[in-house]
Chains A and B, each alone.
Chain A
Amino acid sequence: MKLASRPERYTSYEADSALLNTPAKRLGVVVIVAVALLVPFVAEDDRVAILSDAFVFAIAAIGLNLVTGYAGQVSLGHAFFFGLGAFTAAVLGGEPGGRTIGYGLDMVIWLPAAGLVAAAAGLLVSPAAVRLRGLYLAIVTLGLVFLGEHLFREAKPITGGVGVGRPAATPKLLGYRFDQPGLFGLDLSGTQKTYLLMLVFLILAAILGRNVARSAVGRAFAAVRDRDIAAAVIGVNLARQKALAFTVSSFFAGLAGALLYVRTPFIEPSAFNLGLSVQFIAMILIGGAATISGSIMGALFITSLSRFTQDLTTGLPALGKALTLGGFFSIEAVQTVLYGVLIVVFLIFEPRGLYGLWLRFRNYFKSWPFSY
């Protein structure tokens, strides 16, 4: 029986390992989802667009967290799988008869296909993780990004080539278009509809990611991360778990890649570069490695950073002048420098990331008045 004053007294395994195992969590999730549903009706379209992109990056960040945070396999190649998903979707869902290949299929086909193609690529890359460790694996996955860039540059019928690009997949789900305004009589713009679609996908991806993490697979991942030889001794099949980690994370990356271009329907192949991979790594490190909510927080933080600094410098011009050293640096340079500095500061002072900050905040109030 449940005691209201003892929310963490669990009387069954199911209750303990449940997704939302305390009343506070349940309430929190309801509140957050309600706020997220209301945002497009109160905020301007450009902010809604930024949040929509942030949700898509959060899906990719969840995937990266599964392979790097939970399974401990450093992957700097996430941008490659992201791009692979984007181009698969563009080929399957794009307008036929243009300069580039397109088949004009529905989202029901191109979205899973994007995930599956990226997952297959992840599966092909996973033997490297079995053979290599640590920094060697990181640099090999970095090489994957460069190979991918070369591939995207050269495969002009698919990607259009550098500097030219190609149109993305048309976002129609079972015939219903997401880029055109209108929804059952409510006057929603395309951006708002896209935002709601991305919110739904993010919730699904988060549940999926969290379920992977709290299942036996997730426990095997953590064993591989912490002491892989000991894990092998107790019967965790390392090759299989690493392959599974890469496959699942690449699936998420492929889905996210396909979804990002629902809002801006034009893909340029040089976007999937080292900088994008580093951005994903920054999202999970700043958000919190090995946590799903951390991936979401990190993605929201990093994606809104550029807009945030813009608002900050226009809202507080004195601060803007100070940051740009009196106009010596452009605002984009300041954003990039801030991004680099934030990575360094978070890793030095709060290695558990934004999720760690949340934990400190929550534990302070949980243990009040014994917060010391």
Chain B
Amino acid sequence: MTKLFQLLVEGLGQASTYALVAVGFVIIYKSMRVVSFAQPGLMVVGASFVVFLATEVGLSFYLAVPLAMVLTAGVGLLVERTTLRPMVGKPVFVVAIITLGVDVVLRQIVNRYVGLNLRPIGDPWGLDGFSLGGAQVQVRHLVMMTVTSAVVTGLFVFFKRSRTGLAMRAAAADQETALAQGVSVGRVFAISWAMAGALAALAGVFVGTGGGVDQQTWTVALKALPVIIVGGLDSIGGAVIGAVIVGLVESLVGGYQADLFPFLGQNFNLVSPYVIMVVILLVRPYGLFGTARVERV
């Protein structure tokens, strides 16, 4: 029982990271109909900013994180203005590959900064944990869960209540009509990328807590791709629920697979998100909460 509880907490902690990256993906998809493969790059850019600000410049961690989020939002904005603005109207697949190219470039720059060693991110809690009814609970997982819940709630309120959120929802539903109503769709694109950058930075901070940032950190963001597919490409709530499903499955498989299904090999939990994705897509080809596109001739 304690093992199950521990696995659940770890799974939810991982799910928070995935949720943040996935929500970033979904926000960009909703506005531009493009899956931005640049999210892993933005994530490690954000993490590197925090490493720089918290360890080299010496700012407090709690100040470094929001500042890094703002800086990464700026990077996202820059990427959108330079590489994606000229591609409005081009086929979606082409734009997705452009974001892949951007990701390659961003990661090379980050790798040069990070170097070969694990760079600590300067978080004040590290790998501290405490015992809760016999189970070991890590502080960082609790922090991840609370911060992500707060951020996701904030996003929901933003989209439902604020004028900008309304504008973004309108642009996501129908760009031409939104333009006719006076919504600046170009600004919506820019804000989507800035938000995705900030969320990716926060996710990067979470991935870096407890251990550090190194040249392999970006692969964590790749697991957010099954999350958005499971949840549905255009549903923010779906992204969060998908993240919870994928995080929990990954954690439970990691804990129990060695005993129950040893023939699947070691570290099967690393590919279990993709298996879940395929299973769910067989049943619901647009993800759990994605809107089915009506295909016309």
Contacts and interface: CB of A to CB of B under 8 A. Distances in A.
B229 A140 contact: yes
A340 B108 contact: yes
A150 B268 contact: yes
Contacts of A285: 94, 97
A69 to B, nearest CB: 11
Given A229-B295, A337-B108, A135 B233 contact: yes
Contacts of B293: 133
A136 B286 contact: yes
Contacts of B183: none
A139 B264 CA distance: 22
A127 to B, nearest CB: 9
Contacts of A342: 101
Interface residues of A, number: 45
A341 B101 contact: yes
Nearest to A230: B297
B86 interface: yes
B295 A348 contact: no
Given A135-B35, A150-B265, A285-B97, A348 B83 contact: yes
B163 interface: no
A150 B265 CA distance: 8
B225 A351 contact: no
B164 interface: no
Contact of A336 (B96, B98, B104, B271): B104
A2 B296 CA distance: 45
Tell me what chain A mostly uses at the interface: helix, strand, loop, or mixed: helix
Contacts of A74: 93
A328 B98 contact: no
Which of the listed residues B104, B111, B222, B295 has the most CB atoms from chain A within 10 Å of its own CB?
B104
Contacts of A132: 281, 285
Interface string A106-143: 00000000000000000000001001111110111011
Contacts of B275: 147
B271 A344 contact: no
Given A143-B277, A233-B297, A343-B98, A138 B93 contact: yes
A322 to B, nearest CB: 16
Tell me what chain B mostly uses at the interface: helix, strand, loop, or mixed: helix
Contact of B101 (A146, A274, A343): A343
B11 interface: no
Contacts of B277: 139-140, 143
Contact of A347 (B98, B103, B222, B296): B98
A10 interface: no
A282 B86 CA distance: 19
A329 B110 CA distance: 11
A139 B35 contact: yes
Contacts of B100: 278, 281, 340, 343
A140 B280 CA distance: 11
Given A136-B281, A333-B111, A281 B90 contact: no
A139 B39 CA distance: 14
Contacts of B233: 135-136
A140 B111 contact: no
Interface string B244-275: 00000000000000000000111110110011
A103 interface: no
A130 B171 CA distance: 30
Nearest to A330: B112
Which of the listed residues A140, A342, A348 has the most CB atoms from chain B within 10 Å of its own CB?
A348
Which of the listed residues B92, B108, B222 has the most CB atoms from chain A within 10 Å of its own CB?
B108
A136 B285 contact: yes
A348 B86 contact: yes
B1 interface: no
A15 B91 CA distance: 34
A227 interface: yes
A154 interface: yes
Interface in A271-312: 274, 278, 281-282, 285
Contact of A135 (B92, B226, B297): B92
Nearest to B273: A143
A275 to B, nearest CB: 9
B151 interface: no
Interface of A: 74, 128, 131-136, 138-140, 142-144, 146-147, 149-151, 153-154, 227, 229-230, 233, 274, 278, 281-282, 285, 328-330, 333, 336-337, 339-344, 347-348, 351
24 contacts: A74-B93, A128-B278, A128-B281, A133-B285, A134-B93, A135-B93, A136-B285, A136-B286, A139-B225, A139-B226, A140-B277, A143-B274, A147-B275, A149-B271, A150-B265, A150-B268, A153-B265, A229-B295, A330-B112, A333-B112, A340-B101, A340-B103, A343-B100, A347-B87
